[in-house]
Chains A and B, each alone.
Chain A
Amino acid sequence: MARSWQLKAGFMSEATLAIKKISGHPGPAPGANVERDYQVAKLIDTTTCIGCKACEVACLEWNGYTFTETFFDNSYQTMPATTWNYWNLIKFNEHEREDGTLQLLMRKDQCMHCADPGCLAACPADGAIVQYTNGIVDFQQQNCIGCGYCVSGCPFDIPKFDPTTKKMFKCTLCVDRVSVGLEPACIKSCPTGCLHFGSKEDMSYLAESRAKQLRENFGFEKAGVYDPSGVGGTGVIYVLHDVTNPEAYGGLPKDPHIPWVVRFWKGPAKWIGNLAMLFGVIGVTIHYFRYGPKEIHPRHDNGGKL
C-alpha cells in the first residue's frame, strides 16, 4: 500500500514516457523492463455511480472535443456507444432483479488499458500503439495508418475511426496529465467519489475491500471486482454489484480474450510462413542438385525457332 505511482511520475520528464511494448516492431521494445515502473489503474465503483456524467464532460473538455448534438432514445445514455471524439460514456442499463424489482446499472465505458492489449497485438504499424511502462496503452496518431485492425483485436469495442483524418482514437487515460503527476480528468471531476486513481496495487486493494463491504454489509452476495485475466488484467477495474453477470452492465464481456484469429496471425502464422519459405528454398536447392537445371529443348516443328 505504501507504493505510489506518483513517486515515479515525479522523476519523469514532462514530454516522454518509457515504452514497454510497440506495435508492428521487429523485436522487443528497446530497453523494455530494464527499469521498474509502477502500474497505474483506474477504479470504477459502479455501486456509487449516480450517472451524473461529469466524467464525460470533463473528458471532452480536457481533450478539447466539442459536444455534438444527440437524440433521445428512451434512455439517459448520451449516445449508443463511444465515438472517436467521445471516449468516455456512462452506459445506463435497466436490469430486472430476481425478485422482479428494477435496478438501474450505470457503468463508465472507456478503454480498459489491458495489460495484454489486443489492439496493440493486431496493429501492423510500427509505433502506432504503445504501452508505456506504467501500463497506459496509447495511440500515436502520427504513426497510425488507419487500417482499423485494432478494432478486431479489442474485446471491448473501444478504438474508433475518424473518417476525416483517417486515424484511430480512444481514451489515453490522460497520459499527458498522469505523466506529470496529475490524475485523469474524469477521475478528478467525479463528485460521488466512485472513481479512484492510483497504483494498480492500491486500486486492487481498495476494490477488494469495497467488494467485501458490499458482500458483508449491504447484501450484495455476488459483489466482486472485474479485472479480467483473459487480457492479463486491466488498467481500469470495476467493482460490480454482481460480478457473475458483467454482461448486464452494457455488454461487459465475462471473459474477454484477444480473438484467436489475431493471436494466430500475429503469432504462429509468422513462423509458419517463415518455415514455409525456408522449406521452399531447401526444396528448390535439393531439386537443383537432384535433377539439375531445367533444360529447354528447342522445338523442331517450326524450323528450330524458340
Chain B
Amino acid sequence: MELSRRTFLKGAVVGGAGFSLLGFDLTPAQAQLKELKIARATETRSTCPYCAVSCGVLIYTIGDKAKNVTPQVIHVEGDPDHPINRGTLCPKGASLEQDILNERRLLKPQVRRPGATDWQDISWDQAIDEIGHWIKKTRDNTFIEKDSQGRTVNRCESLAWIGGCTDTNEFNYLVVKTMRSMGLTYVENQARV
C-alpha cells in the first residue's frame, strides 16, 4: 500500500485526537495544595515565656501592618536561628498560639481583696498606686537597720521579687538596682535571656 504524505498526516491527527480522548496526556498532572498559611504573614522573633530554658520562637501575624488593619496572630513555631532550641519546642511551647489566642487570657489587672473569694477588675493606675502603697507600708513596718549584734544591715526581709523568663539583661539590671535600693534580699529570677 502506498502511504501518501496526506494520508500519513490525516492518520496522525485522527490517531492523536483518539489518544487524547482516551486519556493519554503528557502534560504532568498537578494537584492543588493547601496554601501555606504563613505565606503572607509577618515573622516576629520572640522568647517563649514559660520556663528558664527561654526558647526562641517565631510569631506569625497576618495583616500587613496597614493603618486600618488589626493584626492577628495565626501561628507560633520555634526559631531555627536561636542558639538555645534551634527551631525545636516542647509541647507547652508548641501550643503558644493558644496562649495568645485564648478567651481566658488575662488582659487587665485584677485584685483579690483579703477574705474575698473572687477577683475584681481594677485599672492600671489603681493597681500601680496600690502596689506602691503596700510596698511602702510593708517596708516602713519591717525595715531592719541593725541586726541583733548591732551591725548595720539596712535590709527588708518581708518583701521578695521574682522575675520571669522573658526579662532581658537590661530589665534585670534595673530590677536589681531598684530592689536593692529598697533593701530587698530575696531577689530571684529564672531569666536566661
Chain A residues in the interface with B (C-beta under 8 A)? 14-19, 22, 26-27, 29-32, 34-35, 52-54, 56-58, 61-62, 64, 127, 130, 132, 138, 140, 172, 175-177, 179-180, 182, 185, 188-191, 193
A138 to chain B, nearest CB (A): 7
Question: Does B94 have its Cβ within 8 Å of any Cβ on chain A?
Answer: yes
> Is the interface on chain B under 10, 10 to 19, 20 to 34, or 35 or more residues?
20 to 34
Q: List 16 A-B contacts (CB under 8 A).
A: A14-B33, A14-B36, A27-B23, A30-B24, A35-B28, A54-B91, A54-B94, A57-B91, A61-B75, A61-B76, A127-B31, A138-B31, A140-B32, A175-B33, A176-B35, A189-B89
Chain B residues in the interface with A (C-beta under 8 A)? 22-37, 39, 75-78, 80, 85, 87-95, 97-98
| CB neighbours of A132 from chain B (8 A) | 31
| CB neighbours of B35 from chain A (8 A) | 14-15, 176
Q: Are B88 and A189 in contact (CB under 8 A)?
A: yes
Considering the complex of A and B, which 7 residue pairs feature the smallest CB-CB distances, nearest first? A31-B28, A30-B25, A16-B30, A57-B94, A27-B23, A19-B29, A58-B94
Q: Are A176 and B89 in contact (CB under 8 A)?
A: no
Q: How far is the CA of A64 from the CA of B97 in the complex (A)?
A: 10
| CB neighbours of B37 from chain A (8 A) | 64, 176
Q: Are A140 and B91 in contact (CB under 8 A)?
A: no
Q: Are A18 and B94 in contact (CB under 8 A)?
A: no
- B88 contacts which of A54, A140, A177 (Cβ < 8 Å)? A54
Q: How far is the CA of A43 from the CA of B51 in the complex (A)?
A: 29
B183 to chain A, nearest CB (A): 41
Q: How far is the CA of A57 from the CA of B93 in the complex (A)?
A: 9
Q: Are A58 and B77 in contact (CB under 8 A)?
A: yes
Given A61-B95, A191-B89, A34-B26 contact (CB < 8 Å): yes
Q: How far is the CA of A31 from the CA of B87 in the complex (A)?
A: 37
| CB neighbours of A19 from chain B (8 A) | 28-31
Given A179-B33, A190-B88, A30-B76 contact (CB < 8 Å): no
User: Which residue in chain A gives the minimum CB-CB distance to B76?
Assistant: A61
Given A26-B23, A54-B90, A62-B75, A16-B36 contact (CB < 8 Å): no
Given A17-B30, A18-B30, A127-B31, A176-B36 contact (CB < 8 Å): yes
Given A16-B32, A17-B33, A58-B89, A188-B27 contact (CB < 8 Å): no
| CB neighbours of A193 from chain B (8 A) | 88
| CB neighbours of B78 from chain A (8 A) | 188-189
Q: Are A176 and B31 in contact (CB under 8 A)?
A: no
Q: How far is the CA of A191 from the CA of B88 in the complex (A)?
A: 5
- A172 contacts which of B34, B75, B76 (Cβ < 8 Å)? B34
B19 to chain A, nearest CB (A): 10
User: Which residue in chain A gives the minimum CB-CB distance to B22?
Assistant: A27
Q: How far is the CA of A19 from the CA of B33 in the complex (A)?
A: 11
A260 to chain B, nearest CB (A): 28
Q: Are A16 and B75 in contact (CB under 8 A)?
A: no
Q: Are B33 and A15 in contact (CB under 8 A)?
A: yes
B79 to chain A, nearest CB (A): 10
